[in-house]
């Protein structure tokens, strides 16, 4: 019999994680203090499974078995038999501490405790526990049922055996697992910042409008969504907060500086699709803006954003956040980039990337454009990131 999995927090992420574990054959307890939220989560999961049955992914019988694997509760005590409990509640450190301190009194001594946090340090959350050696981060991407990537993040106190155990377990759920260091943004939310930040900077300089920048990144760059379309999809409130959090966590490194443009859109309530307006207008009857399809301009935009993404991926490897293969896997599986950024650098040649970064650095004199030492080394040695 498979072990029991607990999930705390019945929001979109918590419900998705619970469904993934139930689909893998586990008995799952999904808890939340709000009974109405639990009911919404149950309806969300049923609707999701019904769609999978309609598409022929599951039989009706299997769908029923998955639903029978799920238990919904308002009590933390229902996690007493779990071998793993994943917390997916609000990104507030003091609230997380309260929950984990209560949870530690409920579960058995071998139960692994985890957080799905995307912005808080694993060490800071685990510090409240009597035994932080069994605590780590397990970061799913939204929607958890569809996105293949999961970042597993051991804290400084996490036992190696616990990390290995969870890496194998999550891998058995048909997920792509990357293990990374406990640094702000982990891999994806750190490396992806220039995709948004540099697009906003290009707009603020008046080089191109939203639609043209999106056109450049999709048509020329091959990305599935342009940065402004994606920010509207994520929500400007969420995307801006992640940028601000990463910026502060990196001691205000200029590479992660937030944008006034995005902040003003957020302040105005232009949050994106969910509010009916963001960088684009989604109200009924509105027409999509037409991009300026100037290939030379588009190439300039694409290359400027790409070299900054590669520079950030290079920095993640240089600072031992993860291996080159793990960084590329994270970016292709976590945010659907058309290629791994470091494989892309190898294809273009590190010297080519370095030359463009140095040109930007000379032009602007800002640290956001400073080339990473590992990229310089690769260019000098004419060597590859991915061996």
**Is 69 a known active-site residue?**
no
> Which among 279, 290, 289, 296 is positioned nearest to 220, based on CA atoms?
296
**Coil, strand or helix at 6:** strand
69 within 8 A of 27, measured Cβ to Cβ: yes
Catalytic residue among 31, 48, 116, 118: 118
Catalytic residue among 48, 87, 104, 151: 151
**Is 118 a known active-site residue?**
yes
**Coil, strand or helix at 43:** helix
Catalytic residue among 26, 79, 139, 265: 139
Catalytic residue among 121, 189, 259, 314: 189
DSSP-derived secondary structure for 189-222: HHHTHHHHHHHHHHHHTTS--HHHHHHIIIIIT-
Dihedrals phi, psi of 147, to nearest 5 degrees: -75, 125
333 within 8 A of 279, measured Cβ to Cβ: no
**Is 26 a known active-site residue?**
no
Distance CA(114)–CA(122), nearest Å, equals: 9
**Is 139 a known active-site residue?**
yes
How far is the first Cα of the chain from the last one, in angstroms, to the nearest whole number? 41
Active site residues: 118, 139, 151, 189
């Amino acid at each position: 019999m498979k072990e029991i999995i607990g999930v705390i927090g019945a929001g979109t992420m918590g419900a998705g994680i619970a469904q993934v574990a139930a689909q893998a054959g586990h008995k799952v307890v999904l808890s939340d203090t709000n009974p109405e939220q639990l009911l919404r989560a149950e309806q969300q999961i049923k609707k999701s499974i019904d769609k999978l049955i309609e598409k022929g992914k599951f039989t009706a019988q299997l769908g029923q078995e998955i639903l029978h694997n799920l238990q919904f509760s308002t009590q933390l005590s229902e996690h007493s038999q779990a071998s793993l409990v994943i917390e997916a509640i609000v990104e507030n450190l003091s609230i997380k501490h309260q929950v984990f301190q209560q949870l530690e009194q409920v579960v058995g001594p071998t139960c692994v405790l985890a957080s799905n946090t995307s912005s808080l340090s694993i060490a800071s959350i685990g510090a409240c526990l009597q035994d932080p050696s069994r605590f780590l981060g397990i970061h799913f991407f939204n929607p958890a049922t569809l996105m293949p990537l999961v970042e597993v993040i051991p804290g400084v106190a996490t036992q190696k055996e616990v990390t290995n155990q969870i890496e194998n377990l999550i891998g058995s759920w048909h997920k792509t697992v990357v293990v990374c260091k406990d640094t702000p943004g982990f891999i994806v939310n750190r490396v992806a910042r220039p995709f948004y930040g540099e697009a906003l900077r290009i707009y603020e300089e008046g080089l191109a409008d939203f639609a043209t920048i999106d056109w450049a990144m999709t048509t020329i760059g091959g990305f599935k969504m342009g940065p402004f379309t994606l920010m509207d999809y994520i929500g400007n409130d969420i995307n801006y907060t992640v940028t601000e959090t990463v910026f502060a966590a990196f001691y205000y490194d200029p590479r992660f500086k937030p944008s006034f443009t995005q902040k003003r859109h957020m302040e105005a309530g232009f949050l994106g699709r969910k509010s009916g307006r963001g960088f684009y207008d989604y109200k009924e009857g509105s027409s999509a803006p037409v991009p300026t399809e100037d290939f030379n301009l588009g190439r300039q935009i694409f290359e400027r954003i790409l070299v900054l993404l590669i520079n950030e991926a290079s920095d993640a490897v240089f600072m031992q956040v993860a291996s080159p293969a793990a960084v590329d896997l994270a970016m292709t599986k976590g945010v659907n980039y058309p290629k791994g950024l470091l494989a892309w650098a190898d294809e273009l040649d590190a010297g080519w990337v370095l030359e463009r970064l140095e040109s930007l650095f000379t032009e602007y004199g800002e640290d956001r454009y400073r080339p990473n030492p590992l990229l310089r080394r690769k260019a000098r040695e004419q060597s590859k990131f991915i061996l």
